[in-house]
Structure 1
């Protein structure tokens, strides 16, 4: 039996937050409201983007060789709009991400540097009710990130070159998964909804003049709020919480 997620305000973490997305705009679509709220509360937030989104967009006339630089620029602008200053790009190719030791090492590297108390990332499980959340890159990044959380970021004997570089092991206390088939937390980001739309508007290569991405995000947020029992018109971002201490 599917359980409706519990509604919550964007509670202030007691330390840094790391958000990981497979493509530019993934973090923004799923968790920009939380990022805006936490930055306004003085929380350090880092965004880590695994690919440069070479396969995204809608313009068939665009030179694909120009896409990585464009999408990085859009992501930096979006981060600034959310108040996020620290953005990490891993530079993998869109559509070719694998849950392998190399990606786990790089995610463990970011975790050890940021030392987050809360990590947000794609769920590695498919949600058949929302197929767009099931992009293979999303699933691979989710699986690799959770492997980095446990055991690799906390294990001094995993990727010893990180320890030699001065990156001490770190255990992430909790991980929030977006795109999960069974979310248990709905964060009310109604107050941040306009700011989230401004963040998404920075991704000009991903939506046409009608603002399809922005409209879809608003509709998804309102649907999530309704599913959590919030009043009509409230906007939510939904997650599955995992204890990863």
Structure 2
């Protein structure tokens, strides 16, 4: 018998999703974002890089603006209208105090109750090695959520300390604890990923819609077994 996951908390109003690259949130998490914005909650995106090293056939100076445009269009599909890019170099993000400070400063500006990030573990499912950028950003987010509330850590940020983060939710975790029923957000999750057309077309010869639909619907169906048979996006939830 598969252990059933808890529903994600619903008593919050503002969330900030922080990931390394354009498209990180679209590989599954965006369907949950659509559910949240439908409920009147405010979700903003913070992307550490512009994804400029992600398309082999395009040099970074050309790829970066393309991927930034695709991410803004993708976010709009699921009701997100604030998308910020920190401009760290794609592929070589370093975990450390500089990154933690940038993220703490953003958390202080946005003042979220819920912070969302991506799997910071070494692997995906114990089989695929995770990228250095995902590991660095995910770990820094978990630390920065606490840093943001401590007035003596990074005291020179423009915004005042914010100790109001109640949870950090990690998407793509191998050991999730909570889930969101994305029945009503699944189609927008698919369309959100489809907005990354240049990236998808460089990645695969498969039709972009078929590629996006197979992935997003497949992920949600796979997680349904742990959430009462309902298509789901899962998270590992850390309390703050």
**Same fold at TM > 0.5:** yes
Query: If each structure's helix is expressed as a fraction of its own residues, which one has the higher value?
Result: 1
Residue equivalent to 1:87: 83
| Residue pairs, 1:214-233, within 5 angstroms | 214-226=213-225, 228-231=226-229
Residue equivalent to 1:67: 63
Give the gaps of 5 or more residues in structure 1.
none
Shift of 1:215: 2.0
Residue equivalent to 1:161: 156
What RMSD, in angstroms, separates the aligned Cα atoms of the two structures? 2.1
Aligned with 2:27: secondary structure? helix
Shift of 1:154: 0.7
Residue equivalent to 2:169: 176
Shift of 1:44: 1.1
CA distance in 2: counterparts of 1:24 and 1:133, whole angstroms: 19
Q: List per-residue Cα deviations over 1:119-160 (Å, max 9, x = no partner).
A: 11123223452655722111111111111012x101101111
**The one of 27, 35, 38 aligned to 2:36:** 38
Give the gaps of 5 or more residues in structure 2.
none
CA distance in 1: counterparts of 2:200 and 2:231, whole angstroms: 21
Q: List per-residue Cα deviations over 1:29-57 (Å, max 9, x = no partner).
A: 23211211111111111111111112223
Aligned length: 234
Q: Note if contact 1:186-1:225 (Cα within 8 Å) is conserved in structure 2.
A: no
Q: Note if contact 1:4-1:184 (Cα within 8 Å) is conserved in structure 2.
A: no
Aligned CA distance change for structure 1 residues 130 and 37 (closer, same or farther; 3 Å): farther
Runs of 4+ in 1 over 3 A off after TM superposition: 2-5, 10-13, 130-133
TM-score (normalised: structure 1): 0.87
CA distance in 1: counterparts of 2:35 and 2:16, whole angstroms: 14
Residue equivalent to 1:49: 47
| Residue pairs, 1:1-245, within 5 angstroms | 4-6=3-5, 8=7, 12-57=10-55, 60-129=56-125, 131=127, 134-150=130-146, 152-162=147-157, 165-208=158-201, 210-211=207-208, 212-226=211-225, 228-231=226-229, 234-244=230-240
